[in-house]
Chain A
Amino acid sequence: MGSLAAPFDKGSAVSAPVLRTERLEKRFGGIVATDSVSLSIAPGARHALIGPNGAGKTTLVNLLTGVLPVSAGAVYLDEVDITRLPVHRRVARGMVRTFQISQLFRSLSPRETLALIVGQQRGLGRRWWGSLAREASVIERADQLLEQFRLASVRDVRTDQLAYGKRRLLEIAIALACEPRVLLLDEPVAGVPAGEREEILQTLAALPAQVSILLIEHDMELVFGFSRFITVLVNGSVLAEGEPAAIAADPRVKAVYLGSGAGHTP
């Protein structure tokens, strides 16, 4: 880390982080799943969170998004304490996630899914009259997202009948439909067959620059290609942080990843 990480640290000190955790802790009975994690996500970041299986990456995402209550510590979004906010309120403030295992609305088509989310996003969620079909601007935005995520060809197919790769794309499109300021991507390419992988990588690369992204991923090729800053999580606590080159050279990280990630040293 050291010198290579320094310029970034200075930068993040000047512009306040979008998302910050302070000594975040989660215990399940006697097991400490998240151990005093202090994380800082800069505006527009391409930040990766890596770590071996069981390191507590998904638990951390669940703490950040409010799916799990924290045991101790705090989460700040734009320096506002959101530690106790319910999931949907955090989304309204711009913190959005994708799921490792696609979580879709199985009986709805991609177009219906995106229209309903865009509608919700624009404050129509409580309107009990009229139809989304008549909201031209909602439909327009939904169609735009379908186009952007290469879902236009399957826009009217029930999502439980979509191919796996398309589901992963819809998973990300859903998150983007929520107009995120911070986007947590939980293993976006996990289990995606090689043929459909490229499509997802391209859409990830094309995500809006102003959106701050925290990428949780096992795939080291994607991590080192995508991120400009990496946090390594081991046994629930931060082992190392820094720019990709520094992380790749870190002997402790190498020790943890011996055999799995060492081959990807850039």
Chain B
Amino acid sequence: MLLATDRWRERLIVGFLFAVAFGLPWLMPSRALFVAETASVALFALSLDLVLGYAGIVSLGHAAFFGVGAYAAGLFAKLVMPDPLTGLAVGIAVAALMGLACSLTILRGSDLTRIMVTLALSLLLYELANRFDAITGGADGLQGMAMGPLLGRFEFDLQGQVPATYALAVLFLALLLVQWVVRSPLGATLLAVRDNPLRAAAVGIPVASRLAFAYAFGAALAGAAGALVAQTSGFVSLEVFSIERSADVLLMLVIGGAGWVYGGVLGAVAFKVLNELVAGITPQYWTFWMGLFLLAIGLLGRERVLRPWALWQRPSTKAVR
């Protein structure tokens, strides 16, 4: 995987899937907002994949950075200027700085302490956003942000075609960047830290700085996802910091498979599509079916749920990616 050189087939498949995704808002305009939202959430899942899948940092509070990005971009649009790309950059920068500062809390300790610390961080931010309602709008949410046109030309339409294209483009670039990084020599050292921090240090890899880098990078991408959601929906609520959001993104990553660049993105798409389908049939009880689906994945394994015919074949010796 690390030393593979031939990737044309992978590029072809990813290129094709993104071409379909970019076409969707224009072919099915009624689904454009759904595409925008899914792309933003997929970016969020990608960011967690980097943190959990590549650096091995278990986080149950990843929404902290998503929320910070969302509020930063929202407040920037409302108070400073409405340009979306500048707002996105602000969201990314604020979340990245926040991630770098908070990386101090995850350098030591076991998975359990990390779960606790990350969860605590998102709870703290939730209450802060609630308390300082003069700035954030508190429980009413941040309202009154007017988005300017993208690149000075393309207005955000209510139907969501421009927002969807914008979100997809950001997701695509982020995916390229993450892929670029995780396959580099630096990315290799991240895998080493994830697999065995004790040994990683013993071969000369500065473990703490690698963890801080991964955490800040993941936070930056989560901030970008939050900024996208704020900009494409024109609204930020306290919910961006909620435990549900952190838990959902973790589920998406579990569905798609952590430690694989496409895991988060595919998991997010599967999660959102399933959500949409089931909610269309039974709006009240969709979480029941979601739970059943997750149980099946947990007990049977992803491979056998997504490819049931494999159940009747001889057990695959290939590791589930």
Please report B residues at the A interface, Cβ cutoff 8 Å: 1-5, 180-181, 183-189, 191-192, 195-196, 198-207, 259, 319
The verdict on A105 contacting B202 (CB below 8 Å), with A129-B184, A132-B185 known, is no
- Within residues 113 to 130 of chain A, which ones have a CB less than 8 A from any CB in chain B? 113, 115-117, 119-121, 124-130
Further pairs besides A116-B185, A127-B184, A178-B204: 19, Cβ < 8 Å: A88-B201, A99-B202, A103-B199, A104-B195, A105-B199, A105-B200, A107-B195, A115-B2, A115-B188, A116-B191, A119-B185, A120-B189, A121-B203, A124-B185, A125-B186, A125-B189, A126-B185, A128-B180, A131-B5
* CB < 8 Å neighbour of B203 from A91, A106, A135: A91
Produce 1/0 per residue, A15-37, CB < 8 A to B.
00000000000000000000000
**CB-based nearest B residue for A111:** B3
**CB-based nearest B residue for A184:** B202
Q: How many residues of A contact B (CB 8 A)?
A: 42
Inter-chain contacts of B4 with A (CB < 8 A) = 133
* CB < 8 Å neighbour of B205 from A104, A112, A120: A120
Q: Is the CB of A177 within 8 A of B203?
A: yes
Q: Is the CB of B203 within 8 A of A120?
A: yes
Q: How far is the CA of A117 from the CA of B201 in the complex (A)?
A: 11
Closest beta carbon of chain A to B113's beta carbon, Å: 20
Please report A residues at the B interface, Cβ cutoff 8 Å: 65, 67, 86-88, 91-92, 96-97, 99, 103-108, 111-113, 115-117, 119-121, 124-135, 139, 158, 174, 177-178
**CB-based nearest A residue for B3:** A133
Q: How far is the CA of A107 from the CA of B202 in the complex (A)?
A: 18
Q: How far is the CA of A104 from the CA of B191 in the complex (A)?
A: 12
Closest beta carbon of chain A to B203's beta carbon, Å: 5
Inter-chain contacts of B200 with A (CB < 8 A) = 105
The listed residue with most B CB atoms (<10 A of its CB), out of A97, A113, A135, A178, is A113
Inter-chain contacts of B207 with A (CB < 8 A) = 88
**CB-based nearest A residue for B217:** A128
Closest beta carbon of chain A to B319's beta carbon, Å: 7
Q: How far is the CA of A74 from the CA of B188 in the complex (A)?
A: 34
**CB-based nearest B residue for A102:** B199
* CB < 8 Å neighbour of B259 from A107, A124, A126: A107
**CB-based nearest B residue for A117:** B203
Q: How far is the CA of A124 from the CA of B205 in the complex (A)?
A: 11
Inter-chain contacts of B196 with A (CB < 8 A) = 103-106
The verdict on A108 contacting B195 (CB below 8 Å), with A125-B205, A132-B3, A139-B3 known, is yes
The verdict on A128 contacting B191 (CB below 8 Å), with A115-B2, A133-B4 known, is no
Q: Is the CB of A178 within 8 A of B203?
A: yes
The verdict on A128 contacting B195 (CB below 8 Å), with A108-B2, A112-B3, A120-B203 known, is no
Inter-chain contacts of A88 with B (CB < 8 A) = 201, 204-207
Q: Is the CB of B186 within 8 A of A126?
A: yes
22 contacts between A and B (CB under 8 A): A86-B201, A91-B202, A91-B203, A103-B199, A106-B195, A107-B259, A112-B3, A112-B188, A117-B192, A120-B204, A124-B185, A125-B205, A127-B186, A131-B2, A131-B3, A132-B3, A132-B188, A133-B2, A133-B3, A139-B3, A177-B203, A178-B203
Inter-chain contacts of A133 with B (CB < 8 A) = 2-5
Inter-chain contacts of B3 with A (CB < 8 A) = 111-112, 115, 131-133, 139
Q: How far is the CA of A92 from the CA of B201 in the complex (A)?
A: 10
Q: How far is the CA of A247 from the CA of B198 in the complex (A)?
A: 34
Closest beta carbon of chain B to A89's beta carbon, Å: 8
Closest beta carbon of chain A to B57's beta carbon, Å: 16
Closest beta carbon of chain A to B147's beta carbon, Å: 32
* CB < 8 Å neighbour of B188 from A119, A134, A139: A119
The verdict on A134 contacting B185 (CB below 8 Å), with A91-B203, A178-B204 known, is no
Q: How far is the CA of A121 from the CA of B184 in the complex (A)?
A: 15
**CB-based nearest B residue for A115:** B3
**CB-based nearest B residue for A97:** B202
Q: Is the CB of B203 within 8 A of A174?
A: yes
Inter-chain contacts of A125 with B (CB < 8 A) = 185-186, 189, 204-205
Q: Is the CB of A134 within 8 A of B5?
A: yes
Inter-chain contacts of B1 with A (CB < 8 A) = 112
Q: How far is the CA of A132 from the CA of B319 in the complex (A)?
A: 23
